[in-house]
Amino acid sequence: MTTSPDPSDGPESADRDATAEETTSTSPPVSGALAEGMAAAARRAGFRPAAEGDPISGRDLMAAMGGVRGLCEAVLPGLVFLVTYTLTMNPDAEASSDSIRALLPALVAPLLLGLVFVALRAVTRQTMTPAIGGLVGTGISVALALFSGRASDFFLVGLYTNAAYGAALLISVLIGWPLVGLAVGFLMGDGIEWRRDASKRRVLTLLTVCWTALFLVRLAVQLPLYLADNVELLATTKLLMGLPLYAPLLVVSWLMVRSVYRKAESAD
């Protein structure tokens, strides 16, 4: 019996196989493309070791945050607003038709401070991104307060930010892809391999839950104060629940990440 040749064994089939093999070899895997994207983001954020695939240190982390100057730029505008508002605001001004004029000193002071931070960075030739970002945020807050005539609206951006971050982190935990794990994995040059390590996955999920709790607790405490229009207490709680909570959690997070990765290296 003569067997007819299979059409799939012809030259056209060979060309298709070659094309498929070339496409497979030249197309990067999804995880590789995602890793490259995270590396580019890390490079823009100032994590140069992460961009090269090396673990970052505590000093690198602090430098990427802007150092002591960056922390001051984050804290001082709110503090200046609180002090200026307390010293200049007439308790009866909110009920009067001149409430916006009464708010101006408390709103202009942090805005001017933001301009000073930008100028200092320009003079010292340091990266201006943190100062400009802070100035834009302060400008939006000032605009909201001037538009409504309510000093409490100065903190509206922070409320939305806490709600957005808290919701995003919570959803990431619920779907099994904690955002802290994704960030740490690529910053440590681990990609998404941490998901295969039970110890790493447990620690990074726990850290994501802790950061979720930070943002949601801020929202739970500050939102009632905003609705009650209690400006002084709202500003005070924002300061107390800002850097004093953020910095210790950041340090603990870094220590836990470093510990779990060292244990994994020792085991290997």
Q: Which tens digit of pLDDT belongs to each residue from 118-151?
A: 888 888 887 777 788 888 989 999 999 988 888 8
**pLDDT the model gives residue 29:** 44
pLDDT at 168 over 90: yes
- Give CA–CA dist 16/184, Å, rounded: 41
Q: What is the mean pLDDT of residues 248-260?
A: 86
**Exposure string for 216-244, b = 16+ CB within 10 A, e = fewer:** bebbebbeebbeeeebeebbbbbeebbee
| Residues 253 and 210 sit within 8 Å (Cβ to Cβ) | yes
Q: Which amino acid is at 250?
A: L
- What are the pLDDT digits (tens) for 194-246? 998 899 999 999 999 999 999 999 999 999 999 999 999 999 999 999 888 88
Q: pLDDT-derived band of residue 23, with 50, 70 and 90 as boundaries?
A: very low
Question: What is the C-alpha to C-alpha distance for residues 253 and 166, in angstroms, rounded to an integer?
Answer: 17
pLDDT of residue 132: 85
Half-sphere exposure of 141 (CA within 13 A, CB side): 28
Give Dmax over CA atoms of the chain in angstroms. Answer: 106
pLDDT band at residue 265 using 50, 70 and 90 as cut-offs: low
Contacts of residue 154, defined as CB under 8 A and 6 or more positions apart, other chains included, come to 81, 106, 107, 141, 142, 144, 145, 231
Query: Per-residue pLDDT for 43 more than 50?
Result: no
- The mean predicted confidence, pLDDT, of the chain is 77
Residue with tokens 């440590």: 188
Euclidean distance between CA atoms 162 and 158, whole angstroms:
6
Among the ranges given (9-18, 143-152, 165-174, 209-218), the one the predictor scored with the smallest mean pLDDT: 9-18
**What pLDDT is stored for residue 224 in this prediction?**
96
Q: Is-contact 225 239, C-beta < 8 A?
A: no
Residue 75 has pLDDT above 80, yes or no: yes
Mapped onto helix, strand or coil, the DSSP state of residue 151 is helix
**Residue 145 neighbours by CB under 8 Å, 6+ apart:** 103, 107, 151, 152, 153, 154
Contact 114, 131 (CB under 8 A): yes
Query: Is the distance from CB of 127 to CB of 180 less than 8 angstroms?
Result: no
Task: Tell me how far apart the alpha carbons of residues 49 and 84 are, in angstroms, rounded to a whole number.
Answer: 42
Q: Domain residues of the chain, as ranges?
A: 65-149, 151-268
Phi, psi of 26 (to 5 degrees): -95, -20
């779990």: which residue's tokens? Answer: 260
Please tell me the predicted confidence (pLDDT) of residue 98: 60
Given this model, what pLDDT does residue 247 score?
80
Per-residue model confidence (pLDDT) at position 261: 84
